[in-house]
């Protein structure tokens, strides 16, 4: 996802804040890594072509007049070159621009669109904070619908606009800051977490009794959550080179055990619990490549 935030809550100026995964869009991963690890002057030089390309393709029209944007500041986040290359671990850059037009003075018609020659991580969530209304106006832009279409900005219409799908997404994102990280969790399972799916299927194939499955899945889930929390907080650290082969071994073990037994005994619950710890450590290795927000760390 890419975020465009037009902040006109200050009546004296309109600021555009952009959050985008530059390493997956406007820059090659190696270029973004060099920029993220450079000093301020080096960063400015290295991101300049990407910023220019972005501004050429982004049109912000206020009362049908395109607004010019000037880069004011930026923040580049990156854990490693491998994390930048991996689309499941977005390394978000924040670019802050100042517009030469102000949309906070009276009623205005706003349209934001992205030209066809620019590809960014979709969808694009557009948010506009406007001085005369406490509620944001919002739109979702997609690769097939690249324009917000004209938006009339005034205090009366903003309230109804907040009921749109994008408005609800913004509201949930504000109320539950960690909600946006659900996408990472889903991607970890499908399609990148087939090991978890195969393991749980192995638990299911032991017996067709629901209670047997629930006992095993409960032990696995509690152990998985515990290991994930400990590893994410830095209390436990196990190299991925050790964890990943053990996860594969856990799948083989469960499959072989299913061939020799069809009843649940206590030692199997203990083994499933231990394997849950392993799988939790595996997920923690993925999270280690993400930059979790410090202010919303626990909800994320």
Q: For 31-81, how does the pLDDT look when each residue is reduced to its tens digit (9 = 90+)?
A: 999 999 999 999 999 999 999 999 999 999 999 999 999 999 999 988 888
| Cα–Cα dist 170/8, whole Å | 17
pTM for this model (two decimals): 0.62
Tokens linked to 236: 């436990």
- Return all residues near 168 (Cβ < 8 A) that are at least 6 apart: none
How many helices and strands in the chain, by DSSP H and E? 10, 10
Give the SS3 label for residue 130. Answer: strand
Strands 93-99 and 108-114: unpaired
Tokens representing 252 are 């083989």
Helix 266-287 vs helix 194-204: angle between axes, to the nearest 10 degrees? 170
Q: pLDDT tens digits for 231-249?
A: 877 788 888 788 889 999 9
* Residue 118: strand, helix, or coil: coil
Domain residue extents for the chain: 2-175, 185-296
Residue 4, H or E segment:
strand 2-8
The pLDDT, as a whole number, for residue 195 is 82
Token pair of 300 as six digits: 């994320």
CA geometry: angle 258, 261, 263, nearest 5 deg = 105
């Amino acid at each position: 996802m890419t975020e465009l935030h037009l902040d006109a809550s200050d009546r004296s100026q309109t600021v555009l804040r952009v959050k985008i995964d530059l390493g997956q869009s406007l820059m090659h991963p190696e270029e973004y890594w060099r920029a993220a690890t450079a000093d301020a002057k080096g960063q400015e030089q290295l991101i300049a072509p990407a910023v220019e390309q972005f501004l050429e393709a982004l049109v912000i029209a206020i009362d049908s007049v395109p607004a010019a944007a000037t880069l004011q500041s930026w923040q580049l986040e990156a854990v490693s070159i491998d994390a930048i290359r991996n689309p499941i671990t977005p390394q978000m850059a924040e670019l802050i621009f100042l517009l030469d037009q102000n949309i906070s003075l009276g009623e205005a018609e706003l349209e934001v669109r992205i030209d066809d020659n620019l590809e960014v991580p979709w969808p694009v969530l557009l948010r506009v904070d406007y001085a005369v209304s406490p509620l944001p106006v919002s739109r979702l832009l997609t690769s097939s619908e690249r324009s917000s279409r004209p938006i009339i900005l005034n205090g009366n219409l903003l309230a109804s606009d907040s009921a749109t799908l994008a408005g609800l997404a913004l509201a949930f994102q504000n109320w539950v800051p960690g909600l946006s990280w659900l996408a990472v969790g889903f991607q970890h399972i499908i399609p990148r977490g087939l090991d978890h799916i195969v393991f749980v299927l192995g638990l299911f194939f032991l017996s067709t009794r629901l209670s047997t499955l629930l006992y095993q899945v409960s032990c696995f889930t509690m152990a998985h959550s515990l290991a994930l929390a400990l590893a994410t907080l830095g209390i436990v650290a196990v190299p991925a080179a050790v964890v990943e082969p053990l996860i594969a071994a856990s799948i083989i073990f469960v499959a072989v055990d299913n061939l020799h037994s069809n009843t649940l005994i206590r030692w199997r619950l203990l083994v499933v619990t231990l394997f849950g710890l392993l799988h939790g450590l595996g997920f923690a290795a993925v999270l280690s490549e993400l930059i979790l927000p410090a202010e919303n760390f626990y909800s994320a």
